[in-house]
Chain A
Amino acid sequence: MTVNAKDKAKMVVVEGSFATAHAVKTARPQVISAYPITPQTHIVEDLSQMIADAEIPNCEYINVEAEFSAISALIGASAAGARTYSATTSQGLYLMHEALFNAAGMRLPIVMTVVNRAVSAPINIWNDQQDSISQRDAGWIQIYAEDTQEAADLVLQAYKIAEDKEIMLPVMVCMDGFLLSHVYDPVVLMDQAEADRYLPPFKPENYLDPKNPKSFGTFADPASYTEFRYDIERAMKKALVKIEEASKEFGDITGRYHGGLVEGYCLDDAEVVIVSMGSVLGSIKEVVDEYRARGEKIGVLKVRSFRPFPGEAVAKALSGAKAVAVVDKSISLGRYEGILFTEIKASLYNTDVKVPITGYIVGLGGRDIRAEHIKEIIEETKAVRDSGKITVESRINEIREELL
């Protein structure tokens, strides 16, 4: 992220969840549904306080009995023309699973923060990205934040993208649980005037109105169902452009630019590239700085948009690399690959970019990802660069054999 001097003076130290809740407030939501679940709870608690303090005008805050209701309430509200928000995580997101597809199919621009957490069983409340990444085919746009500032700023960008007439799809803003949601960081809280300048009021073409009745999400037989699915795919493709535009325009207005679909770090001449999503990128960049100080050509590729997946941008960004490692906080069981790893490989197949790629599954259930782990990954990837040979294609970076 680039921070200008003006912003440095405005920075305050707040919890990541508060920065996000505050950004939601500036988006002027009209319906918020809330069900607490760790580590997402602080966001809806903060919003609840803002509602109690009358800081969010013209907004209905609904305490629901479970996450299926949380998303269902937003589907109804969004169809009625309201700007809607909720936040959830892990099991809560899984409970929403069925309705997630409805929200996308009905083309409702709901924005939801997913505070990434591992999934049961065994129960674990710590961070990995298995929850949102397993919803990848639901038709929701998914953008992953690297830091607390980006997680908050993405809320505004998410509405901008979601409510675009050519897109009309729900958006998940994904932020790592605890690592971003519970950390106190210096951030610039979203300025209301800037938010208003950036985000116009939500005016959908179709909305539920007793005076002009319409049905949403109606029946489609085999003769037309395919076209509905294809239409979502077309919107996803357009979103590739809109996500970049939304980020640029946000940068122009606020001075804070977090990157487009993907964002390179020390990438231009990099021979070894580490690809990842989310907060672990911060640690990776720290380690890469050490390598760069010694003159080693190591770079980082941050993937911001996971759905739509920017295959072309990835291929372009990796075109100069000699070896690539993908660092995932998820695992596709039965494939033994992190899901980003699988997607990155697929993006390069059938292209001119021929580069060996290995995958590392790290940080499951909140296990620490230390600098020494990242160094191991870089060293092994350097060996792949030098030999041109992959010995192990995909692995979990650290397995405690003594427990097995």
Chain B
Amino acid sequence: MKITYGAVCAPGTAMENKTGGWRTFMPVFDYSKCIRCGICETVCPDMSIKEDKSTANEKGKCLYKANYDYCKGCGICANECPKDVITMTLEEK
């Protein structure tokens, strides 16, 4: 990486900052309880939860996965999940 004066950069370059290292608790998914509602994706403030297209069922509904490169472990997904699929687990590094 080279810095530019004035910290000028093209849109989307914040992706280069892998902020997942800030996390203390990580969301762990128990898919046996998941109803594929997508609330976790909606409420994630950092757009770190996305559909996993490879898991689409016959109705096209997918399971959701966290992107641990950017997930900061805020726990909103675990708090909002109606089926308690997500558990915040202390992450050992």
Report which A residues bind B (CB closer than 8 A).
105-108, 168, 206, 213-221, 224, 227-228, 231, 235
Contacts and interface: CB of A to CB of B under 8 A. Distances in A.
B46 to A, nearest CB: 13
Contact of B3 (A215, A224, A235): A224
27 contacts: A105-B6, A105-B7, A106-B6, A106-B7, A106-B8, A108-B6, A168-B6, A206-B4, A213-B10, A214-B11, A215-B8, A215-B9, A215-B11, A215-B13, A216-B6, A217-B6, A218-B8, A218-B13, A218-B14, A219-B17, A224-B1, A224-B3, A227-B3, A228-B3, A228-B7, A231-B3, A231-B5
A206 B5 CA distance: 9
Interface residues of B, number: 13
Contacts of A214: 8-11
Given A224-B3, A227-B3, A228-B3, A216 B8 contact: yes
Contacts, number: 48
Interface in B8-27: 8-11, 13-14, 17
Contact of B11 (A213, A227, A228): A213
A168 B5 contact: yes
Contacts of B10: 213-215
Contacts of B6: 105-108, 168, 206, 216-217
Q: Is the interface of A mostly helix, strand, loop or mixed?
A: loop
B14 A219 contact: yes
A214 B7 CA distance: 10
Contacts of A228: 3, 7
Contacts of B9: 214-215, 218
Nearest to B19: A221
Contacts of B7: 105-106, 216-220, 228
Interface of B: 1, 3-11, 13-14, 17
Given A215-B13, A216-B7, 9 more contacts: A106-B8, A214-B8, A214-B10, A214-B11, A218-B9, A221-B17, A224-B3, A228-B7, A235-B5
Contacts of B13: 215, 218
Nearest to B1: A224
A214 B13 CA distance: 10
A231 B7 CA distance: 11
Contacts of A105: 6-7
A221 B14 CA distance: 11
Contacts of A215: 8-11, 13
Nearest to A218: B7
Contacts of A168: 5-6
Contact of A206 (B1, B8, B11, B14): B8
| Candidate in A218, A224, A228 with the most chain B CB atoms within 10 angstroms | A218
Contacts of A107: 5-6
Nearest to A227: B3
B21 to A, nearest CB: 10
A216 to B, nearest CB: 5
Nearest to A166: B5
A292 B26 CA distance: 78
A168 B4 CA distance: 12
B12 to A, nearest CB: 9
Contacts of A216: 6-8
A224 to B, nearest CB: 6
B28 to A, nearest CB: 26
B18 to A, nearest CB: 10
A163 to B, nearest CB: 13
B6 to A, nearest CB: 4
A228 B7 CA distance: 8
A128 B3 CA distance: 39
Contacts of A220: 3, 7
A167 to B, nearest CB: 10
B31 to A, nearest CB: 33
A224 B4 CA distance: 11
A386 to B, nearest CB: 51
Nearest to A206: B8
A206 B7 CA distance: 10
B54 to A, nearest CB: 32
A227 B5 CA distance: 10
Contacts of B8: 106, 206, 214-216, 218
A224 B6 CA distance: 13
The 6 A-B pairs at the shortest CB distance, nearest first, are namely: A107-B6, A206-B8, A106-B6, A107-B5, A218-B7, A213-B11
A109 to B, nearest CB: 10
| Candidate in B4, B7, B11 with the most chain A CB atoms within 10 angstroms | B7
